[in-house]
A and B are shown apart, each in its own frame.
Chain A
Amino acid sequence: MLRPEEKAYCQALLALKRKDYVGAMRYFDQAAPGFADSKEFNLYRETTRLLLVVKDKLAELANEDRIDIEEATTNG
């Protein structure tokens, strides 16, 4: 009786509960056609997407050899 999109939304939230953000994103994408007009749904989906981008970037930074340059300001 649940529509496939509703099932996918439900699975997405369960994935978030498990902190499986990649899985949650996949389910959000499946659910999207049924919730395109829902601001709440879009907020959760885009937050998850942003979190995955941040995690990717962090992983990228952790893997690359880099030199951290911090600005130093002198008084006077």
Chain B
Amino acid sequence: MSQERVLKSLEQVLEAFLDRVVAYKQPRLQVLEGINRLDEIARTPSQSTEITDQIGEWFAANNRLLSDDNLRAGDITRIGDILGEIKLRLDLGTDAPPAVRKISSEIDRWRTNTGRTEKITLHRPPETVPAPQSTPGPTAAQPRPVVPEDSDSIARFDRFLKHAMDLYTDYAGNKKHLLSVLDDLLTAAELRQNKDALILSGFLIYYLKLGNYKVEPFVRRLKKAEEILKGGRSNA
């Protein structure tokens, strides 16, 4: 067989292999294309009406993603987060056009169907410390404030660890390296002022530092995110 024939044959085999790769990756590719497009919409500065049109088109093209069951936990988190950012940019005043309200309700519907509903802020009363034991006089029979068992710092930290574990699982879903997880967590801490993401980032940075990773750039981002979080609170 001539060299040319051998090469032709090899070319056909390689092309056939790559065709199969594309076919095998097609469902994943559709998901990534959908996230990519949504990301572009979120990052491109544009008027509310333009976003409405673009998101409308995105929903039309990508609504099937939910029913196709190809989304990973990390994808759902990403899409939910981006849609949340986009919703914040929509002008939802009382005189908002019907199209904008429709898109807003579509975003809510998507996030509800994927279990990512609006963030709920829970308020609790200030912590109370039981008064020191003293000999009660006849007039000292005041009822003590009831201290819920989980209002102490141990229980709160326990809850934080559980939240942090869920957060880590979400962000680590499709990552190949811990540095990628850290990168996304810092982005969440910076852009969404997510305190849990900030704390978890600090934890990961220390872990990586002990593993002799170069962490200085991440430390700088951590400090910046911390300042943003403090600034956001003081301005609130």
Contacts and interface: CB of A to CB of B under 8 A. Distances in A.
Interface residues of B, number: 31
Given A35-B176, A44-B18, A70 B2 contact: yes
A48 interface: yes
Given A10-B32, A13-B25, A58 B176 contact: no
B18 A16 contact: yes
Query: Contact residue range for chain A?
Result: 20 to 34
> Main SS of chain B's interface residues?
helix
B7 A61 contact: yes
A19 B42 CA distance: 30
B60 interface: no
A2 interface: yes
A72 interface: no
A61 B72 CA distance: 47
Given A2-B35, A3-B183, A48 B18 contact: yes
B17 A47 contact: yes
A21 B11 CA distance: 12
Query: Interface SS of chain A: helix, strand, loop or mixed?
Result: helix
A21 B15 CA distance: 10
B35 A1 contact: yes
A73 B102 CA distance: 78
Contact of B10 (A6, A13, A35, A54): A54
B21 interface: yes
A47 B14 contact: yes
A14 B33 contact: yes
A67 to B, nearest CB: 11
A75 B158 CA distance: 85
B21 A44 contact: yes
Contact of A37 (B2, B25, B176): B176
25 contacts: A1-B35, A1-B39, A1-B42, A2-B78, A3-B184, A9-B32, A10-B32, A10-B33, A10-B36, A13-B22, A19-B15, A35-B176, A37-B177, A38-B176, A47-B21, A50-B14, A51-B11, A51-B14, A51-B15, A54-B7, A54-B14, A57-B7, A61-B3, A68-B2, A70-B2
For the complex of A and B, list the 3 residue pairs with the smallest distance between their C-beta atoms, beginning with the closest: A51-B14, A10-B32, A1-B78
Interface of B: 2-4, 7-8, 10-11, 14-15, 17-18, 21-22, 25, 29, 32-33, 35-36, 38-39, 42, 78, 81-82, 176-177, 180, 183-184, 187
Given A1-B78, A37-B177, A47-B21, 6 more contacts: A1-B35, A1-B39, A3-B180, A3-B184, A44-B18, A44-B21
